[in-house]
Amino acid sequence: MFDVEFHEKYGDTLEEAGELLNSYVIPIFCLDKSERPEMEGTGFFLEHNKKLYFITASHVIDAITTAKSKFIIAIHSNMPSLSLSGCKRTVSVENELADNQYDLAVIPISHNFAYYDQCLKLAIPTSKTTLNKSFPKVDMQILQGFPSSKNKTVKCRDNITKHFSGALWTYSLNSAQDCNFSDFKDKVAGTQYPIHWPKKVQGQKIQGKQIQTPGQLGVQPRGCSGGPYWFIPNISKINEYYLAGVFIEYHKKYGIAFVTKIEHVIQLVDQFDA
């Protein structure tokens, strides 16, 4: 009985936290041969030193450029394209494709961008990140993203208005304390947070398919790459949330996912002023 009540209460708290964070999360699309948008990844806006940037995973850029597509995002009901001119990202020196260690991309947003003011309102300020912060404990770790399996264009796009109504998922996950970094190419302890991705259903399910609680069967995270990963240190103070990093990779074999820490995002952003 206690476990059921705990999971129900936790689920309610997770849903409430998700509602606080939902507006920050931006879906990314790749245009297919018919110019129809298909979900490719997730990202978010970051405000740093009074400048605006769009953050996602570097391999999301690879997928879009390989398809020779525009980089499309959704802002409310609008679906503008972002210019990749001036984009900085981490890549492999061997082939200029996304690297396996950091897997980060930063797109500067010009004041001349038609949706600049809207984007600025959706941006996460550096003060709301874990940069230069430490916590004795973290009660909740949250990933948000747009899994491709739940965002099929045929179901989510209005063919008349061309608007896209995506399904944003909020996952509650836990650190993989026993992660063996040597099992993973170019992953380094201290650079990423290793995350346990549950495989089997355990415990009480929470009503509402867009909430994923610890121990439940997780929707495959393809499409969530580039999404924000949050820390809530005190579950009784969910308004005190902090961006901890960027979700970059999932290994089904090991049930492990990786989040690149926010410090490395800021280091890449700071290169614009170097």
Contact yes or no for 144/230 (Cβ under 8 A): yes
What is the pLDDT, as a whole number, of residue 201?
28
**More confident call, 218 vs 66:** 66
Q: Give the mean model confidence (pLDDT) for residues 251-266.
A: 94
For residue 188, the domain's CATH number is 2.40.10.120
What is the pLDDT, as a whole number, of residue 216?
46
Is it the case that residue 42 has pLDDT exceeding 70? yes
Joined tokens for residue 132: 């230069």
Give the global pTM: 0.89
Contact yes or no for 39/151 (Cβ under 8 A): yes
Domain count, the chain: 1
pLDDT tens digit sequence for 125-136: 999 999 999 999
| Residue-range definition of the domain harbouring residue 79 | 2-273
Task: Return the DSSP state at 25.
Answer: E
pLDDT band at 83 (very low <50, low <70, confident <90, very high): very high
pLDDT tens digit sequence for 89-120: 999 988 999 999 999 999 999 999 999 999 99
The overall average pLDDT reported for the chain is 86
What is the pLDDT, as a whole number, of residue 72?
93
CA distance 102 to 105: 9
pLDDT band at 215 (very low <50, low <70, confident <90, very high): very low
Contact yes or no for 232/252 (Cβ under 8 A): no
CA distance 87 to 69: 16
pLDDT band at 26 (very low <50, low <70, confident <90, very high): very high
pLDDT tens digit sequence for 172-203: 889 998 899 988 888 888 899 999 987 642 32
